[in-house]
Amino acid sequence: MIIYPDIEIQDGHSVSLPRGRKEEATVFEISPLEAAEQFQIAGAEWLQVVDIDGVFQGGRFNSGIICEIIDNAKIPVQVAGGIRTEQQVDWWFEHGATRIVLGTAAIKDAQLLRHVCHQYPDRIVVSIDVRGGYVLIDGWQTRTSFHPITLGKNFRDIGVAAVVYTDIDRFENHSESSLAGTSEMGTEIDLPIISSGTVRTLDDISLLSLLPNIHGVITGRALFSGAVDLKEAIAIAREPGVDRSLAKEGVRPQPASSISAGRTLPTDYTTMGQELLDLHRAHTEGAISNEVMHHMDWMPTFMAAVGNDSIKQDLLEGGVQAIGREYNVHLDGYNFLPFWPRISAEDYSHGVTSDLVVRALILVVFGGLLVVFFLRSVRVGLRCKETDQVLSVVVSLSVGIGYWLFLATVFSAEPRYAVFPAFCVLYCLLTSVGIYREPGRKERGKWPKVLFVPLMVIVGFASHWTPSEIRSDGPTWSAGLYVAAEGCRVPGAMTATVPIIPIYANWTVELNCEELLSAVGGFQS
């Protein structure tokens, strides 16, 4: 496995972008040229240089510095960032780049990718950035309907040299988040996989070395910050890896040694790649896992559940106070909270917010006033022998509440299910106000004051109701057709699957390949 030191350049400076946000860039004191020189001295076999300004805007913005790095480098240099046209690809190869990384362009323009792969064999790398099981483009700004496995298989047939896979969920969250996506890419795709954005410690290097078909690891921030020593990382990466077939067949491989920890892994472990893949499948298919979990893993898991997902690092640095003691230990455990998506640190540590308290007070206060108002209107109606109106109030209110409770119990308390109950409540309010307004009633003079109460209740309900917009989560129809059309290019393909909303339900539609290719002729070769 090869370590690719990653030099990200923005406005001529060495930077790192937390969560991919350029406005939150961390600027390092060392220049890109100095960093490249130090990485080579430490024994780097490759360098990756990224034009961050190009990522977000397209084009070349830091080409001068990057070309200087290429000219001074004694090792191959892989260039990424904003390369979206054939002319730009040609320009970089003419100026000494060993390999080019295409991201947005490779996904949007299949013809471009085919052409440059043919023109520059084994020199085109494709970047696949994934969040929530779907590929992102335009600097993580645009969500597509592409699945990474489908894209990876298409890229294999096109002639791509390797795939840079970035698990954004793992990148944005704690480093101990699931590596199942990375493992699945290595198992299912017959292309060299380069993992990106997954390294914070040397332990992460060790974990990645156990995954199938991981040929390289891109790391930048950990090297610049000093969290990872490049020499040690390279030494760990050179340990024997795990073959892709082992993960498929469940074969127990020979263990790799962890230099950073000074220990050797036990010989009786099941392939970690397979374990992670099984966990991923169980998670996505709603199955229940009865796998054994080490007791040292429960500590970081429980701490993450209550809001502290850094307890492992805190203990290592020392100074943690508990039960009248101060602890400074290395906890050899991992946070397994990400394996259960319905349970998160946010649910526990940030569940009680000021907004939630306000909404609860609105519900209690105005809900109580609503009950008093309805009971009084029923009493007035019965006294005045308006049984029809009283019956309509009781029935509509009962139907609305029963409808909501049933759907919330059987399915979920989604806002869309509250539309019909809200209309039932509104009907009851209008009917009750009508009871008070009937002439000849002793209470008729009070109805303007009473009307104030239901109006405030409506405000309370409206402030608590947030409509769901699943359409904004994609996928777009045009993007789905792109993937489907590419799938129809496989010999013997008769139909293609297009994902549709809601994506969390995995809804799809089957299209005839002949009709599809005829409709989108631009995809035909």
How many angstroms from the chain centroid is the CA of residue 142?
Answer: 12
Nearest to 313 by CA among 292, 295, 334, 298: 334
Pick from 19-23, 381-385, 431-435, 502-506: least confident: 502-506
* Per-residue pLDDT tens over the stretch 430-447: 787 777 665 455 544 455
The residue with greater pLDDT, 280 or 421, is 421
Q: What is the predicted pLDDT for the residue at 39?
A: 95
* Per-residue pLDDT tens over the stretch 92-121: 999 999 999 998 888 888 888 889 998 999
- For β-strands 495-499 and 26-27, DSSP reports them as unpaired
Q: What is the predicted pLDDT for the residue at 438?
A: 56
Q: What is the predicted pLDDT for the residue at 320?
A: 84
- For β-strands 508-512 and 495-499, DSSP reports them as antiparallel
Quickly state the pLDDT bin for 261 (edges 50, 70, 90).
very low
Nearest to 151 by CA among 491, 494, 485: 485
Nearest to 501 by CA among 466, 485, 477, 467: 477
Q: What is the predicted pLDDT for the residue at 134?
A: 82
Q: What is the predicted pLDDT for the residue at 99?
A: 95
Q: Residue 245, class by beta-carbon neighbours within 10 Å (0-12 exposed, 13-18 middle, 19+ buried)?
A: exposed
Please name the residues in contact with 25: beta carbons below 8 A apart, sequence gap of 6 or more: 10, 15, 16, 17, 52
Q: What is the predicted pLDDT for the residue at 450?
A: 54
Nearest to 244 by CA among 189, 297, 200: 189
Nearest to 277 by CA among 254, 247, 257: 247
Question: What gap in Å lies between CA 31 and CA 208, rounded to an integer?
Answer: 29
Helix (H) or strand (E) holding 216: strand 214-219
Tokens standing for 65? 């510095």
* Per-residue pLDDT tens over the stretch 321-335: 877 788 888 888 887
* Per-residue pLDDT tens over the stretch 218-246: 999 889 989 899 999 999 888 765 444 44
Q: What is the predicted pLDDT for the residue at 80?
A: 93
Residue type, 323: I
Is 165 strand, coil or helix?
A: strand
Assign 3-state DSSP to the chain and report helix, strand, coil percentages, each to 5: 50, 15, 35
Please name the residues in contact with 259: beta carbons below 8 A apart, sequence gap of 6 or more: 202, 232, 235, 236, 239
Pick from 13-22, 35-44, 371-380: least confident: 13-22
Q: What is the predicted pLDDT for the residue at 171?
A: 65
Please name the residues in contact with 426: beta carbons below 8 A apart, sequence gap of 6 or more: 458
Question: What gap in Å lies between CA 298 and CA 339, rounded to an integer?
Answer: 13
Strand partners, 162: 125
Q: Which residues are catalytic?
A: 8, 129
Peptide bond into 475 cis (omega under 30): yes
* Per-residue pLDDT tens over the stretch 66-85: 999 999 999 999 999 889 89
Peptide bond into 502 cis (omega under 30): yes
User: What's the average model confidence in pLDDT over 248-276?
Assistant: 38
The residue with greater pLDDT, 285 or 166, is 166
Do the beta carbons of residue 425 and residue 403 sit within 8 Å?
no
* Cα angle, residue 216 at apex, residues 214 and 218 outer, rounded to 5°: 125
Quickly state the pLDDT bin for 377 (edges 50, 70, 90).
confident
Quickly state the pLDDT bin for 187 (edges 50, 70, 90).
confident
Domains, the chain, in order of start with CATH, read 2-280 (3.20.20.70), 294-349 (no CATH), 354-464 (no CATH), 471-523 (no CATH)
b/e burial code for range 288-319 (CB count within 10 A of at least 16 → b) = eeeeeeeeebebbbebbbeebbebbeebeeee
Mean pLDDT of the chain: 75
Share of the chain above pLDDT 70, in %: 69
How many angstroms from the chain centroid is the CA of residue 419?
Answer: 30
